[in-house]
Amino acid sequence: MTDTICAIATPPGMGGIGIVRVSGPLAPRLALAVLGVVPPARVATLLPFRDEQGRVLDQGVALFFPAPASFTGEDCLELHGHGSPVVLDRLVQALVAQGARCARPGEFTERAFLNGKIDLVQAEAVADLIESAHEGAARAAANALQGAFSTMVRALDGRLADLRCHVEAALDFPDEALDIAGDTALAEALAALLSDIAEAARRGREGRVLREGVRVAIAGPPNAGKSTLLNALAGHEAAIVSPYPGTTRDLVRERIVIEGLALELTDSAGLRATDDPVEREGIRRAEAALAQTDCVLWLVDDSAGASSPPAPPGSLIIYTKIDISGRASGPCPEGYAVCAPTGAGIAALRAGLRARFLAPAHGTEAEGAFSARRRHVVALEKVGRAIEAALAHQGEGSAELVAEELRLAHEGLGEITGRFTSEELLGRIFSAFCIGK
């Protein structure tokens, strides 16, 4: 934290503009060395950029942000020049020659977190926004960066802190003879908090879906119409379609977006007994894909008149070739009925897939959604279990055990925002960032 760091903040390659960032106590001195002056605070200033020998490397806009009013909370300098990789690299070399060091991946954002400018949820949202693959994910990440998720967690944290104070008073002042078991107000407050924790976990799971997307495997026996369905959902011919069984032997993946929800569709080999070694390998890969998926679309040829192999537990049953069988298209008790070549039932299937993972309130704009990660959901679920245990112990009249469970719950919420976070976790989180962010 005492070092001054620098890095190229724009993507590799040529571009109209390239940005070099500097953060740390030497930023004013580096500005003098490279620019000849320290630019006025937060004023874009056109200046020449010079190397360590005083030779002009480029001319561009310099911005200086004195601490603490900067992204990192430290003195920061940004140099906006032309996007030549050679020029930007020479500019970094000049800064290093004057006492800076090259930043590690994510170190600027890490310093913003360590200096209290943002919490850990907002820090992770920076990376999520950069990596957004579609508009819904980008809006959800922007909401998290603006503090939507953090505000919800802090409100739960405050209520939990008040409950801890109430319970621990029974331990600190035994003469008051507080009746924990008969405290109906405490029981009601714990129950309400548990309900809100469960809602937060649900929203966290939806936020994770918006960030990571959903893996959907299309599976079933040969010639059930798997490749045809993949093409219909994708809107183009992503997979080869043939009337001959065993045509698909390798995994075919296609990414689609349904109203802000990203789905990775995987078409796989038809599952059947075979002596063909190549087809057997395709079936092995299909079975491996089923084990790693969030949702299985199990296809049943509705025109075949023969029994279909049993679907994996939790599968969504899709009846195909209904133009031959005469079944009506759309939702049915077991799943959906479609005719992929004509498109009948495909719109209903797309809507059903989206509703399976996202609440109807989260439209294409994802206005109320926020991005979340697996660790957030795991932490909220752990908090919920601790609150449940506290409720059980409260009914037993054990103030000590109630206080301990509430402490564990409080720590769980603190893990989300970074109030209680290990150095190892911070290292894993920020090492995944790009350099310069």
For 176-188, the pLDDT digits (tens) are: 556 677 788 888 9
Pull the structure tokens for residue 359: 């609440």
Say whether both 349 and 242 belong to one domain.
yes
In angstroms, rounded to a whole number, what is the distance separating the alpha carbons of residues 85 and 389?
57
Sheet containing 56-65: order of strands = 45-50, 56-65, 76-83, 15-23, 5-8, 101-102
At 296 the pLDDT is 86
Q: Last residue of a domain, which of 357, 390, 407?
A: 357
In angstroms, rounded to a whole number, what is the distance separating the alpha carbons of residues 370 and 390?
29
Tell me the three-class secondary structure of 339-406, residue by residue: ECCCCECHHHHHHHHHHHHCCCCCCCCCCCCCCCCHHHHHHHHHHHHHHHHHHHHHHHCCHHHHHHHH
Q: Evaluate whether residue 381 is within a structural domain.
A: yes
Q: Evaluate whether residue 320 is within a structural domain.
A: yes
Q: Which residue has the tokens 């245990």?
A: 389
End-to-end CA distance of the chain: 16
Q: Evaluate whether residue 283 is within a structural domain.
A: yes
Say whether both 60 and 150 belong to one domain.
no
Smallest CA-to-CA distance from 417 within 121, 114, 152, 110 is with 121
Say whether both 203 and 244 belong to one domain.
no
Where helices occur in 107-245 by DSSP H, the ranges are 107-114, 120-130, 135-145, 148-172, 184-212, 226-234
At 276 the pLDDT is 54
CATH number, domain containing residue 400: 1.20.120.430
In angstroms, rounded to a whole number, what is the distance separating the alpha carbons of residues 320 and 268?
16
Q: Evaluate whether residue 29 is within a structural domain.
A: yes
Say whether both 319 and 390 belong to one domain.
no
At 382 the pLDDT is 94
Residue 59, C-beta contacts closer than 8 angstroms, at least 6 positions apart: 46, 47, 48, 49, 81
At 183 the pLDDT is 80
Where helices occur in 213-276 by DSSP H, the ranges are 226-234
13 forms beta bridges with none
Residue 24, C-beta contacts closer than 8 angstroms, at least 6 positions apart: 2, 3, 4, 5, 74, 75, 100
Say whether both 152 and 274 belong to one domain.
no
Q: How many CA atoms lie within 13 A of 368 on its CB side?
A: 9
Say whether both 308 and 265 belong to one domain.
yes
Q: Last residue of a domain, which of 70, 97, 118?
A: 118
CB-based burial of residue 310 (10 Å sphere; 0-12 exposed, 13-18 middle, 19+ buried)?
Answer: exposed
CATH number, domain containing residue 57: 3.30.1360.120
Neighbours of 182 (CB within 10 A): 11
Cα-based distances in Å from 361 to 162, 201, 348: 32, 16, 18
Residue segments in the chain with a per-residue pLDDT below the cut of 50: 239-249, 272-273, 362-366
Say whether both 343 and 222 belong to one domain.
yes
CATH number, domain containing residue 256: 3.40.50.300
Say whether both 350 and 232 belong to one domain.
yes
Say whether both 194 and 247 belong to one domain.
no
Say whether both 196 and 136 belong to one domain.
yes
At 87 the pLDDT is 94
At 267 the pLDDT is 80
Q: What is the pTM of this model?
A: 0.74
Q: Evaluate whether residue 28 is within a structural domain.
A: yes
Q: Evaluate whether residue 367 is within a structural domain.
A: no
Pull the structure tokens for residue 375: 């660790």
Say whether both 247 and 332 belong to one domain.
yes
Domain count for the chain, please give it. Answer: 3
Say whether both 95 and 165 belong to one domain.
no
pLDDT in tens, 321-354: 898 888 899 898 888 999 989 999 999 999 998 8
15 forms beta bridges with 83
Q: Evaluate whether residue 425 is within a structural domain.
A: no
At 48 the pLDDT is 96
> Measured on CA atoms in the order 319, 323, 327, 332, is the torsion positive or negative?
positive
Q: Which residue has the tokens 């690299």?
A: 89
Domain span at residue 228 reads 216-357
Q: Evaluate whether residue 423 is within a structural domain.
A: no
Q: Last residue of a domain, which of 118, 136, 157?
A: 118
